[in-house]
Amino acid sequence: KAGVTQTPRYLIKTRGQQVTLSCSPISGHRSVSWYQQTPGQGLQFLFEYFSETQRNKGNFPGRFSGRQFSNSRSEMNVSTLELGDSALYLCASSLGTTTDTQYFGPGTRLTVL
Amino acid sequence: KQEVTQIPAALSVPEGENLVLNCSFTDSAIYNLQWFRQDPGKGLTSLLLIQSSQREQTSGRLNASLDKSSGRSTLYIAASQPGDSATYLCAVEGSNYQLIWGAGTKLIIKP
């Protein structure tokens, strides 16, 4: 079974630009969660999508948004990039219940200059 | 608001030793607790998931325990090996399906 894939693996953007990250979950998984990891704040939950609906949202500004498609693939968008958005963005997929293990992708390293 | 703390932040031990990593959380109303490892520059690998009704889970040389009433979990690693070197993270999941993370313990196993 193929694991969670994320594209691109690395991105360099400048302040004010926008960026879209993609995540393909494990086949059969209906839940996709996104996380931001920085040295200062650690891992923080961004949002979770389940069956194309945002089921949960963390404490991030509206510049961070996402969506999920009918095949469970998910995209995350960050508009008006700030220097502080530089981070490793991780997505995880699961079957979608509270007893399920989350499987993580390798992450997208975003650098904002 | 749930807060997760991991102690120690870093640990260095010689190969072959048994060791314990600690995780504490402030709100006992959790659905599960998970332990992950993260290798430098890589994503996370799930190690163990303990449901709220369970007391412990085992996988190979790893054993994780959960005491909801005291808000604590421990990850026991037996007979440590250099390949166990990584950052170990614990995370708790509440009814809102959010994972709240600890800052991690960076483990170095010296050959």
pLDDT in tens, chain B (111 residues): 899 999 999 999 999 999 999 999 999 999 899 999 999 877 899 999 999 999 999 999 999 999 999 999 999 999 999 999 999 999 998 877 788 999 999 999 999
pLDDT for the residue B78: 97
pLDDT for the residue A99: 67
DSSP codes joined into one string, B25-71: ES----SEEEEEEE-TTS-EEEEEEEETT-SEEEETTEEEEEETTTT
Q: How far apart are CA A60 and CA A46, in angstroms?
A: 7
Closest chain A CA to residue B31: A98
Residue that is written with structure tokens 């995209």 in the block: A75
**pLDDT above 70 for A45:** yes
List the single residue in B43, B46, B100 with the smallest CB-CB distance to A101. B46
Residue B89: closest CA among B46, B52, B57: B46
List the single residue in A4, A102, A107 with the smallest CB-CB distance to B99. A102
List the single residue in A42, A103, A105 with the smallest CB-CB distance to B101. A42
Could you read off the pLDDT of A9-24 as tens digits, one per residue? 999 999 999 999 999 9
pLDDT for the residue B9: 94
Could you read off the pLDDT of A51-81 as tens digits, one per residue? 999 988 999 999 999 999 999 999 999 999 9
Q: How far apart are CA B72 and CA B26, in angstroms?
A: 9
Would the CB atoms of A104 and B44 count as touching at under 8 Å? yes
Looking at every residue in chain A, the average pLDDT score rounds to 93
Structure tokens at B46: 């799930």
* Residue of A43, A100, A101, A110 to mutate, interface with B, max B Cβ within 10 Å: A43
pLDDT for the residue B41: 74
Q: How far apart are CA A101 and CA A9, in angstroms?
A: 23
B23 touches chain A (CB under 8 A): no
pLDDT for the residue A98: 62
pLDDT for the residue A1: 66
A53-62: long-range contacts, CB 8 A cutoff, minimum separation 24: A55/A31, A55/B97, A56/B96, A56/B97, A56/B98, A58/B98, A60/A36
Measured between alpha carbons, how far apart are the two ends of chain A, in Å? Answer: 37
Would the CB atoms of A45 and B43 count as touching at under 8 Å? no
List the beta bridge partners of residue B105: B88
- Exposed, middle or buried by CB within 10 Å (0-12, 13-18, 19+), for A27? exposed
**pLDDT above 70 for A82:** yes
